[in-house]
Amino acid sequence: MHQRMEALVLDLQDRLVVALESLEPSRKFIRDRWEREDGNGYGISCVLQDGEVYEKAGVNVSVIEGTLAPGQLRSMRERNPQTANKLNANEEYDFRVAGVSVVVHPRNPYAPTAHKNYRRFEVYRKSNKEAGPVLAWFGGGADLTPAYLFEDDVKYFHQTLKQACDAHDPQYYPRFKQWCDTYFTNIHRDETRGVGGIFFDDLEDKAPEDLFHFAYDAGSAFIKAYVPLVAKRMTMPYTLRERNWQLIRRGHYAEFNLVYDRGTKFGLMTPGARIESILMSLPLTARWEYMNQPEPGSPEAHLLEAVRTTTDWAK
């Protein structure tokens, strides 16, 4: 299954790069293949920055293995009681993971930022790796982070993801939508990072084959859900006011990724990790203004209302 997941994430990467490049007239993605210094895996970082359509876009694949650091093991046990029952805090474990991680920051403030991640994670007892994985799960999802709210765009994004979920389990979308709203929250600001999507982790509630096909379908749905929104908004006229608000919202995006995001934390705790690829998700530019407060009734205030409440966008 690990080898099949590796092939899956490479396929998702290639197809998304082609789709995103189809809208960008000035640049192509650079394709940076790297090997871990300890020989335990590789990655391919596809990055486009300073384009006309995309200020920064990254579509990264990593296929790595190693030994779980104590902090990583503790974090995994704390977040999931089932994991805690299967992983002994006093044992050593190895892991391997294949995943694709995507963040797109368009230049136009009216075109939304988006994120996607799909991965499969396996854990082995270091003393008996030949016995197979003690744990194996899928994780991932996709979410939308606009600076300006176009409700039809958000509904389309959610409805497209819902269709992919419903084809596998009618409970997946409502369950993963709520999980996304909860997970992607800047607790210190009492607001979600954006307008949500789907998110799941430690998913092992069905046969691995079924979950593999779900990951493929949900990962593929991102192209249909997101790329048309960029095409729709990328040429809209804007002023410095909209640009500055976009940069403020990107600052909030960076806050979540650096303070709360599990993937970022896991990557930074992994010995020999490739820092440039881990921090690819951060925007090229951001802005922090002291006590910025949008005018009541303004489009900026409307966006804040959306990220401070939860909405059933798929209706």
Residue 229, CA distances (Å) to 20, 62, 149, 234, 256 in order: 11, 27, 12, 8, 23
Average pLDDT (120-130) is 90
**Residue 315 is which amino acid?**
K
Tell me the sheet residues that pair with 100: 61, 118
Of 60-64, 195-199, 273-277, which range is least confident?
A: 273-277
Residue 11 region by backbone torsions, left for phi larger than 0, else alpha for psi between -120 and 50, else beta: alpha
What is the spatial distance between Cα 127 and Cα 129, in angstroms, rounded to a whole number? 6
What is the spatial distance between Cα 118 and Cα 137, in angstroms, rounded to a whole number? 11
Query: 71 pLDDT exceeds 90?
Result: no
What is the strand order of the sheet 54-67 is part of?
A: 30-35, 41-49, 54-67, 93-106, 113-125, 135-145, 196-203
- Please report, for the chain, how many H helices and E strands are present, in that order: 10, 9
Angle between helices 172-183 and 151-166 (to 10 degrees): 130
For all residues of the chain together, what is the average pLDDT?
94
Q: Which of 137, 251, 96, 138 is nearest to 186 (CA)?
A: 251
Residue 181 region by backbone torsions, left for phi larger than 0, else alpha for psi between -120 and 50, else beta: alpha
Q: Which two tokens stand for residue 239?
A: 């002023």
What is the spatial distance between Cα 149 and Cα 112, in angstroms, rounded to a whole number? 9
Q: Residues 231-269: pLDDT tens digits? A: 999 999 999 999 999 999 999 999 999 999 988 988 888
Q: Is 213 a catalytic residue?
A: no
Query: 108 pLDDT exceeds 90?
Result: yes
Beta-carbon count within 10 A of 172 CB: 21
Q: Which of 115, 158, 252, 302 is catalytic?
A: 115
Residue 53, CA distances (Å) to 49, 184, 191, 224, 256 in order: 9, 25, 28, 18, 24
Q: Would you state the pLDDT for residue 28?
A: 97
- Owner of token pair 């176009």: 150
Residues whose CB falls within 8 Å of the CB of residue 100, separated by 6 or more in sequence, listed in order: 9, 10, 12, 13, 59, 60, 61, 116, 117, 118, 119, 219
Q: Which of 136, 160, 171, 147 is nearest to 218 (CA)?
A: 160
Task: Determine phi and psi for 44, rounding to 5 degrees.
Answer: -130, 115
N- to C-terminal Cα distance for the chain? 35
Q: Which of 220, 55, 223, 277 is nearest to 147 (CA)?
A: 55
Query: 183 pLDDT exceeds 80?
Result: yes
Q: What percentage of the chain reaches a pLDDT higher than 70?
A: 100
Q: Which of 19-28, 121-130, 255-264 is modeled with the greatest confidence? A: 19-28
Task: Determine phi and psi for 203, rounding to 5 degrees.
Answer: -85, 115
Q: Would you state the pLDDT for residue 86?
A: 79
Q: Residues 194-226: pLDDT tens digits? A: 999 999 999 998 999 999 999 999 999 999 999
- Using DSSP, state whether 28 is helix, strand or coil: coil
